[in-house]
Amino acid sequence: MSIILSCGGDSVRERFFASCAIFFCIGAAVLLSCIFSPSRACAFEHVVTYTVNCPDHFTVNCLDENGEEEETEGRGEWKKTFKVETGKPLKVSVYNNSEKQVSITIYVDGKPYKKTESSSSVVTLSGKAGEEPPASMHGQGRVITYSVNGCKDSAIVYINDAGEKEEVKHINGSWKKTVRAETGKPLYLSIWTAWNGVSQQDKQKVRAEIYVDGKLYKNKESQGKTLVIEGKVE
């Protein structure tokens, strides 16, 4: 009788350890599927909202939850919400044919991540889900002023508050823009002037300046078609 009981006890223990091994294998399989599965079912997701405000008609091109471009049209206020995994790219571009003031904001988990306002024909914001917002979103960072004088129907490209290159066209005379940028971020200012119908002797020098916290950082003058200043916030 004692032998039978002993065997029964061993059988129970064996079944217990076998069950534990099965559950362990199942758990490991689920964990591995989360890590290596293309669907990344276990990846952390963020709620991303793109908003656009413009008084006139515009076209919006944005990346959806699958990272694919989606194009739509709008007038006045436009909004789109997706769920995006951490580290995935965010991007929204507005084609503004009327060149009226456009306001774009990207919200991540209900909080403003990036925003910009411009009357350029194309306005773009981009970034990554889960990335920290730039210092400019909190009114922090160094104060950068881009200044240009002597424009003649010029096109100007500079880096805006969101860290994006932005173009403004048909500038005559003087132009100035103030943004914020963190230490280590790039500075960029370019001016293109066609000088159509202007003789060489009548050309004025185009002068470009970049100020950091009110102090002159770099400047350059030119009578050519293109003038570029580059640098980095120190």
Q: Kindly report the backbone phi and psi dihedral angles of residue 111, in degrees, each rounded to the nearest multiple of 5, phi listed first.
A: -110, 140
Where do the DSSP E strands lie in the chain? 45-63, 69-85, 89-95, 102-108, 111-118, 122-128, 142-159, 165-181, 186-192, 206-212, 215-222, 226-232
Q: CA 15, CA 9: separation in Å to the nearest integer?
A: 10
Q: What SS3 class is residue 31?
A: helix
pLDDT at 199: 78
Write out the residue limits of the CATH 2.60.40 domain(s) in the chain: 45-133, 138-232
Domain over 138-232 is classified CATH 2.60.40: yes
For residue 114 the two structure tokens come to 């990036």
Q: Which two tokens stand for residue 14?
A: 């064996």
How much is the pLDDT for 29?
57
Q: Is 223 exposed, middle or buried (0-12, 13-18, 19+ CB in 10 A)?
A: middle
What's the confidence (pLDDT) of residue 40? 45
Taking the complete model, does pTM exceed 0.75, yes or no?
no
What class, spelled out in words, does domain 45-133 have in CATH?
mainly beta
Q: Which residue ranges in the chain fall short of pLDDT 70? A: 1-43
